[in-house]
C-alpha cells in the first residue's frame, strides 16, 4: 500500500520502534505542513492510506474528492472535527481511530504553570543577553514586583473541565499545596466533589478567584469560543491563564486584548487557532505570555503509543479486522 504520513515536524516517525510495522509498504513521510487543497492533492494524490498526527492537517470534503485512490485514514488519537467523516463515508474511506494518553499533556500543562509563575522563560532570555536576575516584566500596567514571580503553595488552581487531563493536573496542584477549584458540566463538578475538591458556584467565581486557571475541555460546537473577553477581564492582575487544550475554546483575539489590559497578568499557551503560527503572531510579542508550539503530546513515549496503535490499526484493517473503524458505513464502498 502507498502510505503517506503527514506533518512529522521533527522527522521522528521513521526512528520509532513501531515504524517496523509498516515494513513492506511504500511509505512517504512529510515533515512540513501545507494547507491548500491543491498543495495537498499534489503531495498525497497517489496515497491509499493517510496517517494523521492529531489535528495538524484538516481533511475536508474538497480534499477527499481529489483523492480517488485513498482508502484508509489512520488517526493518531481520536478522530476529531478536523476530519469530514461524512465525506469520508460517502467516498468509501475508512477512518481508523487510535488512542491517546493524558500524561504528556498534563505534565506539559504543569511545566508551563511552573515556568510562567516563576518567570523562567523571561529570566533565561534576559540572562542570555547579559542581564542578571532580570525578568524584564516591568510594565507600568503590572502590579508591583510582578516580575519576581510567585510560588504555588497556598494559591488557588482553577480548572475548567475535569476529565483525564484535568484530574492529573488537579493532583499536581494538590501535591504543590494549592487549593483546587473545579468548574464544568454537572458530571465534572460531581466527580470533583467526590474527590474532595472545591467546586465553583459559577463561572464568574472560577475566573475571579483563581490564581492559576487552566482549561481542560474538548472542542465542539458548545465549547467553541466559550471563554469571552469579559471572562478574562474578571481575572486578577496577578493571575495566570493556561490553555493547552484548544485555542478555539477562547473567543478570537480575546486573550491578546485581555493581556494587553493586564487581566490576567500572565498567560501560558500551547495551542493556536491556525498552526503552525507565523513569527509575527501577536502572542509571541507579548512579554507576559509564554508560548510553546503545541507540544502537549510531543514526547517519545506518547509518540510510540500513538503511532504503534495507528500503524497496527492499518495492519489489522488490511487483515480484515474492522474493530477501530469510526465510520462503519464507509465499508460498503470499500474496495470499489
Candidate list 167, 246, 263, 324, residue with the active-site label? 246
Mean pLDDT of the chain: 96
pLDDT greater than 70 at residue 52 = yes
pLDDT at 234: 98
* Close Cβ partners of 44 (under 8 Å, ≥ 6 residues apart): 4, 6, 50, 67, 70
Percent of the chain at pLDDT > 90 equals: 92
pLDDT greater than 90 at residue 333 = no
Catalytic status, residue 78:
no
pLDDT at 196: 97
Fold identical between 2-101+300-333 and 103-291?
A: yes
Is the Cα dihedral 268, 273, 275, 278 positive or negative? negative
Residue 301 to residues 77, 112, 145, 294, 320: CA-CA distances in angstroms? 14, 20, 39, 16, 28
pLDDT at 177: 99
pLDDT greater than 50 at residue 336 = no
The domain limits of the chain are: 2-101+300-333, 103-291
pLDDT at 156: 99
Contact 160, 184 (CB under 8 A): yes
CA-to-CA distance for 240 and 67, rounded, in angstroms? 45
Residues 254-287 pLDDT 10s: 999 999 999 999 999 999 999 999 888 999 999 9
Candidate list 275, 300, 301, 322, residue with the active-site label? 275
Residues 55-70 pLDDT 10s: 999 999 999 999 999 9
pLDDT greater than 90 at residue 80 = no
- State the DSSP code for 28: E
pLDDT greater than 90 at residue 121 = yes
pLDDT band at 334 (very low <50, low <70, confident <90, very high): low
CA-to-CA distance for 243 and 268, rounded, in angstroms? 7
Superfamily the domain 103-291 falls into: NAD(P)-binding Rossmann-like Domain (3.40.50.720)
- State the DSSP code for 177: T
Sheet containing strand 198-199, strands side by side: 198-199, 179-183, 156-160, 212-215, 240-243, 266-269, 289-291
CATH of 2-101+300-333, one of 3.90.1300.10, 3.40.50.720, 3.90.1150.10, 3.30.460.80: 3.40.50.720
pLDDT at 136: 83
Residues 12-38 pLDDT 10s: 999 999 999 999 999 999 999 999 999
Residues 128-187 pLDDT 10s: 999 999 998 877 778 888 989 999 999 999 999 999 999 999 999 999 999 999 999 999
Written as nine digits, the cell of 79 is 478522530
Catalytic status, residue 275:
yes
CA-to-CA distance for 164 and 281, rounded, in angstroms? 31
CA-to-CA distance for 278 and 265, rounded, in angstroms? 24
Catalytic status, residue 179:
no
Candidate list 167, 294, 308, 324, residue with the active-site label? 294
Residues 278-305 pLDDT 10s: 888 999 999 999 999 999 999 999 999 9
Written as nine digits, the cell of 331 is 465499508
Amino acid at each position: 500500500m502507498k502510505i503517506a504520513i503527514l506533518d512529522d515536524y521533527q522527522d521522528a516517525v521513521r526512528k520509532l520502534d513501531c515504524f517496523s510495522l509498516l515494513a513492506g509498504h511504500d511509505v512517504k513521510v512529510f515533515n512540513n505542513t501545507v494547507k491548500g487543497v491543491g498543495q495537498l492533492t499534489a503531495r498525497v494524490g497517489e496515497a491509499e492510506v493517510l496517517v494523521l498526527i492529531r489535528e495538524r492537517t484538516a481533511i475536508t470534503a474538497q480534499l477527499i474528492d481529489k483523492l480517488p485512490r485513498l482508502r484508509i485514514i489512520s488517526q493518531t488519537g481520536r478522530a476529531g472535527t478536523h476530519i469530514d467523516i461524512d465525506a469520508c463515508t460517502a467516498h468509501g474511506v475508512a477512518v481508523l481511530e487510535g488512542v491517546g494518553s493524558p500524561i504528556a499533556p498534563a505534565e506539559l500543562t504543569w511545566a508551563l504553570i511552573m515556568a510562567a509563575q516563576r518567570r523562567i522563560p523571561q529570566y533565561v532570555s534576559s540572562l542570555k543577553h547579559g542581564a542578571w536576575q532580570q525578568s524584564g516584566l516591568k510594565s507600568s500596567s503590572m502590579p508591583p514586583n510582578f516580575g519576581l514571580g510567585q510560588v504555588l503553595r497556598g494559591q488557588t488552581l482553577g480548572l475548567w473541565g475535569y476529565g483525564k487531563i484535568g484530574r492529573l493536573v488537579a493532583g499536581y496542584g494538590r501535591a504543590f499545596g494549592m487549593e483546587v477549584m473545579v468548574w464544568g458540566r454537572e458530571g465534572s463538578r460531581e466527580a470533583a466533589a467526590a474527590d474532595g475538591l472545591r467546586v465553583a458556584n459559577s463561572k464568574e467565581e472560577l475566573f475571579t478567584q483563581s490564581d492559576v486557571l487552566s482549561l481542560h475541555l474538548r472542542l465542539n460546537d458548545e465549547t467553541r469560543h466559550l471563554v469571552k473577553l469579559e471572562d478574562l477581564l474578571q481575572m486578577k492582575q496577578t493571575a495566570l491563564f493556561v490553555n493547552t487544550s484548544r485555542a478555539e475554546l477562547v473567543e478570537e483575539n480575546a486573550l491578546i486584548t485581555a493581556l494587553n489590559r493586564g487581566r490576567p497578568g500572565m498567560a501560558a499557551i500551547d495551542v493556536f487557532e491556525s498552526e503552525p503560527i507565523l513569527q509575527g503572531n501577536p502572542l509571541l510579542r507579548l512579554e507576559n505570555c509564554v508560548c510553546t508550539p503545541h507540544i502537549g503530546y510531543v514526547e517519545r513515549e506518547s509518540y510510540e503509543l500513538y503511532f504503534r496503535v495507528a500503524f497496527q490499526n492499518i495492519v489489522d484493517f488490511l487483515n480484515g479486522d474492522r474493530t477501530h473503524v469510526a465510520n462503519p458505513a464507509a465499508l460498503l464502498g470499500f474496495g470499489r
